[in-house]
Structures are given as C-alpha cells and as structure tokens.
Structure 1
C-alpha cells in the first residue's frame, strides 16, 4: 500500500519512478563521452608519440621525447641561465602578442566582411561587381601577398594585422552574402506588406535570418586568421608564438616548435569554444526556426 501511494505521488508530480536517476545517468554518460573521449584520444596520441620517440626510429631532432618537450615548456616559463623564457619573453607574453594581433585582424576583417556581405546580398549588381575579387582573395594563400604587404607597410605590426584581416574577410563576407540571399522570401514579403521600410526589412528580418550562417562564417574567419599566425609573424615576430615557431625551426629546435604548435592549437580550441557559447546565446533560434 505504501509503495502504491509513493508511486502515485511521484506520477502526480509529473514524473515516473526512477526517472530522475535515469536522467542523471544519461547526463553523466553524455559528459563522459564529451570529455572522456577527447582525453582518451590525447592520451593515446601521447603514448604512441613516446613509443616512437624511445624506439629510435627517428632521432631526437625529429621526434623528441615528451620529457624533452616538457623541459622546453618549463624553460619558456622560467628564467634559466640568465635567459628569460625564450628570446627574452615568457610563453604567455608570446601568446598575448599573438592573440592581440589576431584579435585586431579578426575584428577588422570580420566587420568589413559582414558589412560587405550584407551589401552584396542585398544589391545584386554590387555582388556581381565584387564577387570575382572576393573569390580571387580567398584563393590566395597568405604568404602570396604577405611579402607585398611588408614592402608596402614595413615589418612592424601593420603588415601582420593587415594579413590577418585579409585572411578573415572572405569567409565572413561569403557566408553573410549567402545567408542574406537565402533569407525567407515569405517573411520579407510579409514585412513589406505590413509597411516596413527597406531598412526595417533588413534589420528586423534579413539580419536575424542571416545570423546563424554569419556566425559560421565568423568562426571560419577566426580559424583561417589563426592558422595564418606563423606566416604573419615571419618578420619581426618576436614576441609572438608564430615568431617563436619560426625562430626555433631555424635552429632545428623541435621541442620549442612543438610547444609553440601546442599553444597555438590549445588557444585556438578555447577561442572556438568561446565563439560557440556566444553563438548559442546570440542566436538561440538556430535549428529551431
């Protein structure tokens, strides 16, 4: 009788017996898959790397042991033999300078790309006029025009930021152009029928409809700009992670190169995760409308 009353009360509260335990187990299983599998893949990668390193198939110059790489990271984090970190800067100072350059370049490139995409998506003749140039720029690898930027702008910060901005512009512009062109015609016509002006149609209908794809373009822009960091820091790139990688490679200092690559990759993962959170909060209707 008591069991019957407990079950009935639980059902009256809108749940079923054991539903909360099932939800908890499902939640923990999801977390385990999302966190455990990436960690497992990382551990397996490190184990395979260490096995190859100690096997002697390649020399330490090509595949250094994990302990050697860790020591390079420690050296970049401390003052040793009178030397501060690497080339007079700690690794976080190098990373800060790289992130600052990326931020400036991405903000300029994305802002210009989104604005250009809105214009190209809204005005057909502008799209026909500018699309070939945009495709031309998108097809160029960063190194192809970086040396020209150095000739024009010198070797200080201007060519680096300009290179990152030019790398970030095309993906944002292309994604925004396509998103604006794919805005629901029914909603646009309905807004016009209700007396909305052209500006109101763009701001209240077209832009919200284009935001999901625009965010995808922004994430691509950040990724492409970040992958161009080493190219952007070829000249006078220290302090900067790309400059560290380039300088260390000149001396076959593989452990430092690997530390630089790891820092670039991990910071890139964090940046992408932040962009995902911003996208989720800014465009909560994605996939629901």
Structure 2
C-alpha cells in the first residue's frame, strides 16, 4: 500500500507572530533617556565631593558641592539685607546676559545667512569675502574686544558687537557650503519652468540649505555663549559673565562656579530648543 507524502506549505515570515518583548526591556527603553543623564550627574557630584573632601586642594580652589549650593541660594535671594550678588539676583544677571546674546547673536546670524546666500550664488562675492570671514573665524574674541572698546566705549555697544562678530562666521560658512552644494539640476529645472532668480533662491536654494544653516545657527549660539564672559569683562555688571569675572577677582570660587553652571545649563536649554526647532522646520533631515 503506497502512501502519498504530505506536502507542507512554506511558512510566510509575515504570518509568524513577533516574539513578545520582555516588559522590563520596554520600560528601560522609555526610562533610559532620563536615567542615564541623571546617573551621570549623580556620579559627577559624588566624584566632586570626594575630590573636595580629599584635601588635595583647598576649599578656595575646589569648594564642595554644599558650598556652591549655599552660594547659589545667596545670589538668588535676599540675605542679611544684601540682594543677590552686587544688588542683582542671579536670574536677573542671567536675563541681562541672555538679552545681550539674543541681540548680538541675532544680528550675527541674520548677517551670516545673507552673506552665505550671496557667497553661495555669486562667485565673485565669495572670492571677495570668504578670506575675511575665515580671518574672523580664527580670531579669539579677546583679540579684538579691546579695539571694540576703543571704538564704541564701555557700554552695551562693544558687548553686543563682540557677540555678533563671534556668531557671524559659523552661519556664513555653513550657509555658503550648503548653497554651493545644491544640485545644479534642481536650479536648471526651476529656471526651465520659468522661475526668476528670486524664485530660485526662495523655492530651491533656501529650503535645500536650511538644514545646514540651522546647524550653523546652533554653532553660532554656542560660540556666542563661549564669548559671553569675554564680552562682559569690562562694565559687565549686571550680567552673568560680569558676575563670574567680579567674583573671580575676589577668589569667590563658589559664585564663579554658580555662574559657570548657570551659563552651561541655560546653554543646554537653548540648544535643546533650537534642536526642536530644527526637527520641526526640517523634519525630513536624516530620513532621506
């Protein structure tokens, strides 16, 4: 008696149900973005406390976290009839510095975008201005701050100008590079459809260059922040950089660290906001 072999239908991988993920793995994936930064901060504070307690350096050089926290409370409140630091609260110092950065970096970013578009589209403009922009990009802020004081005085003008000059080159370079890298076929296709020069700039060059330009904006804001203390070296009070400089003159290390931490934390927040703006404006970046 013969038996007919049974034919098995091939199994379609799409019909196989996925293996259930372990619940703990899903929970860890959700918590990891918050747990890891908090863990690194906790580790940093522990190492800082151990270093301060070791006695390798005096508390004047390396104050413990508790003294820095006490200094933070002092400069943020009114204590013993003294309001904040030098009569100004920490948040007010920071707000004045942020206003200077907003004005200075805003002017530098706007000028950088305009010059970047011009240099990316007009060859002789790029040949004329690119060496000067590179020259500015390589100069440290302190190299020309004294000259700005001679020209503009000691009030707000040299501070805002310094921040604008510091923020200008990153945006100009990134925009120029992005515009120059736009495929010629896109420009020729737009012109073949009857687009004017302004239409090409608005509808082709600007959208294509926008991702790199936003990266340049983030770099420009970072450069402006790194130049903040230099901008407030002279007549910088009130201002967070001026507070840091004044406290350093009196070896008040806890207040210096409070100012540095305030600058860093506010810089992180602003960079995060710029990153969210970039994701909203150019959501296709990294996906195409």
Give the gaps of 5 or more residues in structure 2: 1-14
In the other structure, the counterpart of 1:72 is 71
* TM-score of the aligned structures, taking structure 2 as reference length: 0.91
1:121 pairs with 2:115: no
From the superposition, tell whether residues 105 and 27 of structure 1 become closer, same or farther in structure 2 (CA, over 3 Å). Answer: farther
In the other structure, the counterpart of 1:103 is 102
* Residue pairs, 1:153-232, within 5 angstroms: 153-232=152-231
* TM-score of the aligned structures, taking structure 1 as reference length: 0.91
Coordinate RMSD, CA, aligned: 1.8
In the other structure, the counterpart of 2:141 is 142
- Quote how far apart the aligned CAs of 1:177 are: 0.2
From the superposition, tell whether residues 104 and 31 of structure 1 become closer, same or farther in structure 2 (CA, over 3 Å). Answer: farther
Between 24-33 and 73-82, the greater mean CA deviation after superposition: 24-33
1:239 pairs with 2:238: yes
Matched residues, number: 274
Higher helix share: 1
1:46-99 Cα distance to aligned partner (Å, 9 max, x none): 100100111111100111011111110010111112110100011000000010
CA distance in 2, matches of 1:81, 1:125: 64
CA distance in 1, matches of 2:70, 2:204: 55
In the other structure, the counterpart of 1:259 is 258
- Quote how far apart the aligned CAs of 1:25 are: 6.2
The 3-state SS of whatever aligns with 1:235 is: coil
CA distance in 2, matches of 1:144, 1:129: 23
From the superposition, tell whether residues 51 and 155 of structure 1 become closer, same or farther in structure 2 (CA, over 3 Å). Answer: same
1:129-183 Cα distance to aligned partner (Å, 9 max, x none): 0001000011100010011111111111111000000000000000000000001
